């Protein structure tokens, strides 16, 4: 797994496999968040399969799918609630980008912090350029 730390309690990754869940538990994660809508690719495990395996591994599972064309404050608020709970959160999607977008939008306080957070995430290897139009709608000013 290619896991990227965005903060001490929030980590993102590309798509995981069912077999990865035991490893996530052993790494101290408490919550697994799936930000990828079901059915994007034929080889992706469906949310219900991941949920069963996550719960069997002793992890809390949250399905918060993101479509950037329809991104709303609802998805951001759900992710923010998990971030604020202060549990060690592992979030994934196809590449980790949408999970990073949600973190930026949840953590921003104003336009300056938004710009800083976007830059920090981009330095970690996520190209948020294509996401900025969707993010702009939810940017705090």
Position 90 in a domain: yes
The enclosing domain of 90 has a CATH number of: 3.90.190.10
**pLDDT band, very low/low/confident/very high, at 86 (cuts 50, 70, 90):** confident
Sign, CA torsion 106/68/30/116: negative
pTM: 0.94
Position 113 in a domain: yes
pLDDT of residue 1: 78
Mean pLDDT of the chain: 95
**Distances in whole angstroms, Cα of residue 41 to Cα of each of 4, 9, 15:** 23, 29, 11
Is pLDDT above 90 for 140? no
Count of domains for the chain: 1
Residue 74: domain span: 4-136
Q: Encode the chain in three state secondary structure.
A: CCCEEEECCEEEECCCCHHHHHHHHHCCCCEEEECCCCCCCCCCCCHHHHHHHHHHCCCEEEECCCCHHHCCHHHHHHHHHHHHCCCCEEEECCCCHHHHHHHHHHHCCCHHHHHHHHHHHHHCCCCCHHHHHHHHCCCCC
Position 141 in a domain: no
Position 127 in a domain: yes
**pLDDT band, very low/low/confident/very high, at 50 (cuts 50, 70, 90):** very high
- Residue carrying the six token digits 């609802």: 74
**pLDDT band, very low/low/confident/very high, at 36 (cuts 50, 70, 90):** very high
Position 57 in a domain: yes
Is pLDDT above 90 for 60? yes
The model's pLDDT over 88-116, given as tens digits with 9 standing for 90+, comes to 999 999 999 999 999 999 999 999 999 99
């Amino acid at each position: 797994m290619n896991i990227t730390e965005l903060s001490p309690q929030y980590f993102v990754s590309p798509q995981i496999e069912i077999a990865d869940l035991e490893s996530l538990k052993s790494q101290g994660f408490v919550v697994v968040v799936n930000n990828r809508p079901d059915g994007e690719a034929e080889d992706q495990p469906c949310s219900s399969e991941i949920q069963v395996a996550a719960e069997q591994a002793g992890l809390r599972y949250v399905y918060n799918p993101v479509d950037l064309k329809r991104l709303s404050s609802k998805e951001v608020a759900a992710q923010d609630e998990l971030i604020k709970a202060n549990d060690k959160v592992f979030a994934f999607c196809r590449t980790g980008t949408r999970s990073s977008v949600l973190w930026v939008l949840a953590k921003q306080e104003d336009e300056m912090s938004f710009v800083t957070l976007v830059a920090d995430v981009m330095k970690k290897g996520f190209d948020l350029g294509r996401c900025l139009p969707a993010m702009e709608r939810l940017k705090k000013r």
